[in-house]
Chain A
Amino acid sequence: MSTSLPTRGGDTETVSPPRPPGPKGQPTGGSGRPQWRQRLSRLDHTLAPYLYISPFFLLFLVIGMFPLLYTAWVSVHDWSLLGGKGEFVGLDNYREVLQNPYFTKQLVNTISIFAISSVPQILIALVLAALLDNQLRARTAWRMSILLPFVVSPVAVAIIFGSLYGDRYGLANEILGVVGIDPVSWHTNRLASHVAIATMVNWRWTGYNALIFLAAMQAVPRELYESAAIDGAGRLRQFLSITVPMIRPTMIFVIITSTIGGLQVFAEPRLFDQTTARNGGSDRQFGTITMLIYDFGWQLRDLGRASATAWLLFLVICAFAVVNFLLIRRLGRLGTIGGRG
């Protein structure tokens, strides 16, 4: 951590190697004490910031990095939940997982649920934030109320939505029946089950993301809107050409974090499940990758395969995050260009 770190805030100092005290700070009183103090002060200046942020990295090493590496170590062994470590098997666990038909199926489910939930979720959050960014009466109350679903425990959410989406006696099907639509098999039809789970996820997270967007929108200088209005730009035009490009860094943050979360979706589908195995429907119609990890680890009691799956998921998430990052950067740039044109 001590070698050639980038310069800090336009300052020309680097962390290492430490430079000798410059002529500017020459002692005037002649005694040694000021020089010592000066050296201390310089040390304070260069080292302290790193000490301040070090607890996070130390904590991350212990509770983030260690499990990650330990999981990798487990994934190349025969490792039973109760029996513990067995022999070294190399990449056998990875091969077995990749050949398991459920892996492909549950990976597709995961991506599908992620796409159905995250895309509308972010768009709705963006629109909601734009609406809340107006001069409303009782502004704070409105803003806080959209966070309400986030406070509700996911277990409660799953129970409520589970009974809404009952195949036989659920409210959703009864409402569809009134309109004359045949009942939907929410737990058996693959796409329908993904939609049902996506609504659960969206209900919980849209408000949260909207608040983050709102915070970013508040930082957009109001003069931009005023001059745009003078130029004759309407509300929609202002939103697309000023708001969206200006909050791009926040959008990248929200999209990356919801990619990570969306690909790890677990509680909602597991609690939505009605079967005793809880693997995501009788034919794993809505089983996700994290549910497969749970199945391998805690139901088949094979931590080796579970860890291999966890690492595969980690790689998938990294790939998705990178793709999303590149996409949003390009989109953002297009938005700016469009705004200028």
Chain B
Amino acid sequence: MQTPKSRRVRLATSALVALTLATTAAACGGGGDDASADGTTTITVATFNEFGYEGLIDEWNAANDDIKIKQVKVGTWDDAKANLYTKLAAGSGLSDIEAIEGDAMPAIMAESDAFVDLTDPELDGRWLDWKAAAGTNSEGQMIGYGTDVGPEGICYRADLFKKAGLPTDRDEVAKMMGTWDDYFALGDEFVEAMPGAAWYDSSGGLAQAMLNQVANPFETDDGTVDVENPELEAVYTAVTDNVDRGLSTRVAQWGDDWNAQFQEDAFATMACPGWMMGIIEGNSEGVDGWDIANAFPGGGGNWGGSFLTVPAQGEHQEEAKKVAAWLTAPEQQAKAFEAVGAFPSQVEAQDSPEVNEATNAFFNDAPIGEITADRAAAITVQPFKGPKYSDILTAFQAAVLRVDDGSKDPDASWDQFLADVEALG
């Protein structure tokens, strides 16, 4: 009674819905096409976070009469993922186009049958090679069209740097962050001068940033799970050791406290893929002093970046494919970059003046186009991500958080992580 929808009721509802859908589908008898009387077809596009599509959709709808686009937005990828798997299992209910977060793409490609093959010879060479590869399955079918990529820089609070007696100029800051050891040493200096503040936003975020430089974080190249490798253990040790040094805020990334601490001068730096700039700006209303350094400790790294897919259960696959191709075309991606900072994964868009010459007033007028392009060029390692990547990453972040919030010591938390990975089956 206290949970409004008990499991049984939910199962029951789904059974009823399934029954209704089955009968409706039978009634439609294949000729079912929800094109309205005037011949327009509506294509729904499901996205999460900020894709910067609002202006683009208005533009398309003004120019096209036969196909209209409607966006369905949810807050986070985790919500979108829950919806996606439930409706994939049900076999109906998904939008015509579903956006997929980059790290989850390998798991989605393991279910290639449920998605339309979007391969199109005309689009060859549109994307960076590794982005195109990440959207293509082992049989050579392209399952997702790449949207953005996430070349990582370091965003920092110049005002707090100044208070702590550190240099504030973005070029000088960049020079001091060659390796992770340099970065952590600078952090020691900072927290000593500013005892109330931490060095970075969350251990989970930092761990994920560091993992993006590891060639085989969780799985070997043939997809075998191997989490007891020295590189992963090195990342875990580095991050968990920093807790005692006071470098971590000890809060969970994306939680209420994480959101609130942007207003509290609680930390000075964070790993910053292009799309993160929009999130920082959104959380930091009234806070001045953010800047971005053209550097990333230990070399470049890519964090995130999404794909658009067309589920095979949709009724308007051809139209959906056309819309997905348009939304991920270089001109449109350049506009999305301007809107929310999502750095394009298209070769041509990256070279366009709209992207190259972009600056961001919130980040002290930093030349973000130039910086992000440099950060993209610095990426040398593309981690291998198998079907279990996303699930293991979730377990790994929980392990880091357990040490952060004090519920387990590093060794016990690591053992629990190994057991969690085992349970993934």
With a cutoff of 8 Å between Cβ atoms, the chain B residues found around residue A245 in the complex are: none
With a cutoff of 8 Å between Cβ atoms, the chain A residues found around residue B423 in the complex are: 100, 300
Expressed in whole angstroms, the Cα–Cα distance for A154 and B3 within the complex equals 9
With a cutoff of 8 Å between Cβ atoms, the chain B residues found around residue A82 in the complex are: 85, 88-89, 111, 114
Expressed in whole angstroms, the Cα–Cα distance for A105 and B16 within the complex equals 34
Expressed in whole angstroms, the Cα–Cα distance for A301 and B8 within the complex equals 19
CB contacts under 8 Å to B, within A166-190, are 166-170, 185, 187-188
Answer whether residue B11 sits at the interface, using C-beta atoms and an 8 A cutoff: yes
Chain A residue with the shortest CB-CB distance to B76 = A276
A-B pair count, CB < 8 Å, reads: 131
Verify B8–A277 contact, CB threshold 8 A.
no
Expressed in whole angstroms, the Cα–Cα distance for A340 and B41 within the complex equals 76
Contact of A258 among B2, B255, B261, B419 (CB under 8 A): B2
Known contacts A82-B114, A169-B264, A282-B405: does B8 contact A68 (CB below 8 Å)? yes
What distance in Å separates the Cβ of A314 from its nearest Cβ neighbour in chain B?
9
Known contacts A275-B255, A283-B402: does B3 contact A265 (CB below 8 Å)? yes
What distance in Å separates the Cβ of B49 from its nearest Cβ neighbour in chain A?
13
With a cutoff of 8 Å between Cβ atoms, the chain B residues found around residue A276 in the complex are: 78, 204, 252-254, 394, 397-398
Expressed in whole angstroms, the Cα–Cα distance for A113 and B416 within the complex equals 24
With a cutoff of 8 Å between Cβ atoms, the chain A residues found around residue B357 in the complex are: none
What distance in Å separates the Cβ of A183 from its nearest Cβ neighbour in chain B?
11
What per-residue 1/0 map shows which CB atoms of B299-325 lie under 8 Å from chain A? 000000000000000000000000000
Verify B394–A66 contact, CB threshold 8 A.
no
Verify B3–A275 contact, CB threshold 8 A.
no
Expressed in whole angstroms, the Cα–Cα distance for A170 and B391 within the complex equals 30
Verify B78–A278 contact, CB threshold 8 A.
yes
Verify B252–A282 contact, CB threshold 8 A.
yes
What distance in Å separates the Cβ of A150 from its nearest Cβ neighbour in chain B?
10
Chain B residue with the shortest CB-CB distance to A114 = B2
Verify B394–A274 contact, CB threshold 8 A.
no
Expressed in whole angstroms, the Cα–Cα distance for A17 and B27 within the complex equals 44
Chain B residue with the shortest CB-CB distance to A78 = B425
Answer whether residue A81 sits at the interface, using C-beta atoms and an 8 A cutoff: yes
Expressed in whole angstroms, the Cα–Cα distance for A301 and B423 within the complex equals 12
With a cutoff of 8 Å between Cβ atoms, the chain B residues found around residue A187 in the complex are: 252, 405
Answer whether residue B170 sits at the interface, using C-beta atoms and an 8 A cutoff: no
Contact of A67 among B11, B266, B408, B419 (CB under 8 A): B11
Contact of A277 among B3, B88, B397 (CB under 8 A): B397
Contact of B391 among A68, A260, A278, A300 (CB under 8 A): A300
Expressed in whole angstroms, the Cα–Cα distance for A23 and B404 within the complex equals 87
With a cutoff of 8 Å between Cβ atoms, the chain B residues found around residue A238 in the complex are: none
Verify B406–A188 contact, CB threshold 8 A.
yes
Expressed in whole angstroms, the Cα–Cα distance for A285 and B8 within the complex equals 25
With a cutoff of 8 Å between Cβ atoms, the chain B residues found around residue A101 in the complex are: 419
Verify B394–A282 contact, CB threshold 8 A.
no
Known contacts A257-B1, A267-B3: does B15 contact A275 (CB below 8 Å)? no
Verify A168–B261 contact, CB threshold 8 A.
yes
Answer whether residue A35 sits at the interface, using C-beta atoms and an 8 A cutoff: no
With a cutoff of 8 Å between Cβ atoms, the chain B residues found around residue A258 in the complex are: 1-2
Interface residues on B, range: 35 or more
Expressed in whole angstroms, the Cα–Cα distance for A262 and B394 within the complex equals 28
Which of B7, B78, B402, B425 gathers the greatest number of chain A CB atoms within 10 Å?
Answer: B7
With a cutoff of 8 Å between Cβ atoms, the chain B residues found around residue A204 in the complex are: 2
Answer whether residue B4 sits at the interface, using C-beta atoms and an 8 A cutoff: yes
What per-residue 1/0 map shows which CB atoms of A76-101 lie under 8 Å from chain B? 00000110000000000000000011
Verify B253–A185 contact, CB threshold 8 A.
no
Verify B6–A168 contact, CB threshold 8 A.
no
With a cutoff of 8 Å between Cβ atoms, the chain A residues found around residue B2 in the complex are: 117, 201, 204-205, 258, 261-262, 264-265
What distance in Å separates the Cβ of A303 from its nearest Cβ neighbour in chain B?
8
Expressed in whole angstroms, the Cα–Cα distance for A187 and B401 within the complex equals 12
With a cutoff of 8 Å between Cβ atoms, the chain B residues found around residue A166 in the complex are: 256-257, 260
CB contacts under 8 Å to A, within B79-133, are 82, 85-86, 88-89, 111, 114
Answer whether residue B251 sits at the interface, using C-beta atoms and an 8 A cutoff: yes
Verify B8–A169 contact, CB threshold 8 A.
no
Verify A300–B1 contact, CB threshold 8 A.
no
Answer whether residue A207 sits at the interface, using C-beta atoms and an 8 A cutoff: no
Known contacts A275-B401, A276-B397: does B257 contact A293 (CB below 8 Å)? no
With a cutoff of 8 Å between Cβ atoms, the chain B residues found around residue A62 in the complex are: 15
With a cutoff of 8 Å between Cβ atoms, the chain B residues found around residue A68 in the complex are: 8
Answer whether residue B12 sits at the interface, using C-beta atoms and an 8 A cutoff: yes
Answer whether residue B358 sits at the interface, using C-beta atoms and an 8 A cutoff: no
Verify A279–B398 contact, CB threshold 8 A.
yes
With a cutoff of 8 Å between Cβ atoms, the chain A residues found around residue B253 in the complex are: 276
What per-residue 1/0 map shows which CB atoms of B273-311 lie under 8 Å from chain A? 000000000000000000000000000000000000000
Expressed in whole angstroms, the Cα–Cα distance for A290 and B423 within the complex equals 18
Answer whether residue B407 sits at the interface, using C-beta atoms and an 8 A cutoff: yes
Verify A274–B252 contact, CB threshold 8 A.
yes
Answer whether residue B424 sits at the interface, using C-beta atoms and an 8 A cutoff: yes
Verify A167–B251 contact, CB threshold 8 A.
yes
CB contacts under 8 Å to B, within A271-303, are 274-279, 281-283, 285, 290, 293, 298-302
Which of A162, A257, A274, A282 gathers the greatest number of chain B CB atoms within 10 Å?
Answer: A282
Question: 10 interchain pairs (CB within 8 A)?
Answer: A81-B85, A82-B89, A82-B111, A188-B407, A205-B1, A264-B7, A275-B401, A282-B405, A298-B82, A310-B7
Given contacts A166-B256, A276-B254, A282-B404, 13 further A-B contacts (CB under 8 A): A166-B260, A168-B260, A168-B261, A169-B256, A187-B405, A188-B406, A188-B407, A204-B2, A261-B3, A274-B251, A275-B252, A282-B398, A299-B391
The 8 nearest A-B residue pairs measured at CB: A274-B255, A261-B2, A261-B1, A63-B12, A67-B11, A282-B401, A169-B260, A283-B407
